[in-house]
């Protein structure tokens, strides 16, 4: 089995590029972790779909990843790196062998892993796709944050029947008016299904100002 030693990982439900990592993230200092060379299709599926691995590899990686934990060394039950010699991702599995969290690598550590992988044999991994890919998978971390925030705001306003707020947000985004609350709500939610636009960012900033007390009333 091939390993890489002494790297940093940032396991999250969503995949964040290394340059999107934040100081508040729970960074894991890895002592050693196995590396597997796979096809680009595997990397793509692992990033954008819900996956459950059904392969001998899970027996091989069992408790093989070691983590620095203060002055002690602990192990992660199921964890490893996958690379196609172009892209590297770290994967953490649940007990049922579904992918729990993923992580990017720092640039130099990713390059080191890719160099190592060039000496590895390509392996085949058996897995099942158990869910659709997320519709926001290609958004940046900031865009994901904006998306989640706006969805929460739209849903709360709709739940609380805050018609004035919904009408105002609708006009700000679409530059048109409507009195059909169901239509307003559905179109605002649907606007977030593919990409975050400059209009979404303006709504986000406006609502943040409102909640911070810098705007007394959104609809005034």
What CA–CA distance (Å, rounded) separates 178 from 60? 59
What CA–CA distance (Å, rounded) separates 9 from 28? 5
Distance of CA 26 to the CA centre of its chain: 14
Q: What is the pLDDT of residue 70?
A: 84
Q: What is the CB neighbour count within 10 angstroms for residue 35?
A: 19
Q: What is the pLDDT of residue 57?
A: 92
- Which tens digits make up the pLDDT trace of 140-168? 889 989 999 999 999 999 999 999 999 99
- When pLDDT is averaged across residues 13-22 and rounded to a whole number, the result is 92
Domain boundary among 131, 155, 176: 131
Give the domain extent around 187: 141-211
pLDDT of 218 strictly over 80: no
Residues 22 and 113 in one domain: yes
- Which tens digits make up the pLDDT trace of 161-179? 999 999 999 999 999 988 8
Residues 110 and 175 in one domain: no
Q: What is the pLDDT of residue 193?
A: 84
The number of folded domains in the chain is: 2
- Which tens digits make up the pLDDT trace of 41-71? 999 999 889 999 988 899 999 999 999 998 8
- The answer to whether residue 216 is domain-embedded is no
- When pLDDT is averaged across residues 79-88 and rounded to a whole number, the result is 96
Residues 126 and 151 in one domain: no
Q: What is the pLDDT of residue 18?
A: 94
Of 119, 121, 129, 82, nearest to 102 by C-alpha is 82
Residues 104 and 124 in one domain: yes
Which of the two residues, 180 and 110, has the higher pLDDT score? Answer: 110
Q: What is the pLDDT of residue 217?
A: 60
Residues 66 and 88 in one domain: yes
**What's the whole-model pTM score?**
0.76
- The answer to whether residue 124 is domain-embedded is yes
Residues 59 and 160 in one domain: no
């Amino acid at each position: 089995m091939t390993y890489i030693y002494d790297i940093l990982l940032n396991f999250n439900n969503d995949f964040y590029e290394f340059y999107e990592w934040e100081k508040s993230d729970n960074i894991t200092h890895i002592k050693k972790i196995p590396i597997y060379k796979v096809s680009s299709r595997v990397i793509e599926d692992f990033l954008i779909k819900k996956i459950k691995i059904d392969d001998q590899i899970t027996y091989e990686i069992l408790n093989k990843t070691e983590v620095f934990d203060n002055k002690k060394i602990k192990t992660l039950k199921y964890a490893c790196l996958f690379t196609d010699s172009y892209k590297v991702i770290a994967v953490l599995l649940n007990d049922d062998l579904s992918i729990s969290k993923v992580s990017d690598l720092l640039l130099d550590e990713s390059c080191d892993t890719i160099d190592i992988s060039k000496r590895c044999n390509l392996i085949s991994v058996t897995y099942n796709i158990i869910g659709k890919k997320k519709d926001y998978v290609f958004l940046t971390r900031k865009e994901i944050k904006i998306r989640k925030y706006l969805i929460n705001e739209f849903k709360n306003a709709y739940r609380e029947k805050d018609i004035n707020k919904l009408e105002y947000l609708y006009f700000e985004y679409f530059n048109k008016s409507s009195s059909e609350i169901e239509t307003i709500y559905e179109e605002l939610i649907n606007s977030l299904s593919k990409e975050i636009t400059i209009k979404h960012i303006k709504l986000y900033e406006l609502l943040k100002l409102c909640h911070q007390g810098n705007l007394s009333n959104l609809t005034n």
